[in-house]
Amino acid sequence: MQVINTLIEESFRYTGEKMDLYRRRDEIGEIMEIVAYCRNDLVGETLKYQDKIWEIPVQEGITFVEWLYENKGNGSAEDRRRLLEAFSKGEMTLLDETFPLEETAEKKTIAVALGDFPDAVCSQQDYIQKRRDILASIRNVREYELFMRSCFVNSCFAEGILSEMKHIPHFPDRAKEITRALGILNDRAIELYRQYSNRLEEAMKILASLLRRECAPDPGHADDLIFSFTYSEQLEGKTEERHKEIECQPHFKLIHPGSDLRIYFYWCDETVGAGERVLVGRIGRHPY
């Protein structure tokens, strides 16, 4: 899946309510968070803009290029610095005008705006949800697996996780629920683990209530719930790939309590994901 992130240049135009960019500091902060998400190693995208951005009036009598490069008009020095850095470091890149933006099954566009704007996202939370909506619409399980990592950057997925996902029956009908469950794990698991590290049954109850599906441990089959994860380690100035086997016993039961469709996970690991990412061991049938 190819995603083109396009900036709505017109959203920078000043209005009676938004008279200058100093009053839009929060909105600039939001768009910078979207840019940062796009530059995450698991995403590797940029925010595309068109040349017309430079001539958009951001304050009466002052264009964006004058505001940014000539320090004209009202605005914070930090906002100017952050935007300049985004342009200069290639985090925001010029859109090739000959590139077709029409959406296809393999190519989607996400419109990004400075502040509220029709048919566009203006916060990182809404941007991530848009990516996950695209993910949930993917019908091919291989394409889903490739794209899902960019939608859950606080998650680590076990090696070969696709091998079991390929056996999920009626996958297109299950993609939406799988996406929702992975989103809840990605967004809440680490936080809940830290809060309830001595009472993980409470953390699982909260996860279950969020998804409205059963979330429980499986101690009787612990030996069958060990999965291999890849991580990187710095040795003598070189990055070495390492592997670690981790038991992923807690699991969601998707669709209904008797369903064979499950997501096995572990809260976090100090080596894999540096304690900052939830580990997803298996998506599919129970392995025993």
Q: Are 179 and 246 found together in one domain?
A: yes
Task: Answer yes or no: are the C-beta atoms of 281 and 158 closer than 8 Å.
Answer: yes
Residue 132 binned pLDDT confidence (cut-offs 50, 70, 90): very high
Same domain, 277 and 144: yes
Q: Which of 128, 156, 184 is the last residue of a domain?
A: 128
For residue 279, list its beta bridge partners.
156, 266
Q: Are 254 and 263 in contact (CB under 8 A)?
A: yes
Q: What is the pLDDT of residue 35?
A: 97
Query: What value does the mean pLDDT of the chain take?
Result: 94
Do 86 and 201 share a structural domain?
Answer: no
In order of 22, 166, 260, 262, 280, the CA distances from 285 in angstroms are 53, 10, 5, 6, 14
**94 and 159 inside one domain:** no
pLDDT of residue 161: 96
* For residue 220, pLDDT beyond 90: no
Residues 144 and 280 in one domain: yes
Instruction: Judge if 11 and 113 occupy the same domain.
Output: yes
Distance of alpha carbon 87 from the chain centroid: 22
The total number of structural domains in the chain stands at 2
Query: What is the sign of the dihedral through the CA atoms of 111, 117, 122 and 125?
Result: negative
pLDDT for 10-69, tens place per residue? 999 999 899 999 999 999 999 999 999 999 999 999 999 999 999 999 999 999 999 999
- Pair 51, 179 in one domain: no
What single string gives the DSSP state of each residue in 187-224? Answer: HHHHHHHHHSTT-HHHHHHHHHHHHTSEEE--GGGGGG
Q: Are residues 256 and 124 in the same domain?
A: no
Point out the domain boundary residue: 128, 162, 195.
128
* Same domain? 118 vs 172: no
User: What's the domain range around 14?
Assistant: 2-128
pLDDT range class, residue 235, cuts 50, 70, 90? confident
**With 80 as the cut, is the pLDDT of residue 80 above it?**
yes
Average pLDDT over residues 263-286: 94
Q: Is the dihedral of CA 92, 96, 100, 104 positive or negative?
A: negative
Calpha distance 175→138 (Å, rounded) = 7
Query: CA nearest 228: which of 152, 149, 163?
Result: 163
For the entire predicted model, the pTM comes to: 0.91
Predicted confidence (pLDDT) at residue 97 exceeds the cutoff of 80: no
Q: Are 267 and 220 in a shared domain?
A: yes
> Looking at the structure, do residues 113 and 198 belong to the same domain, yes or no?
no
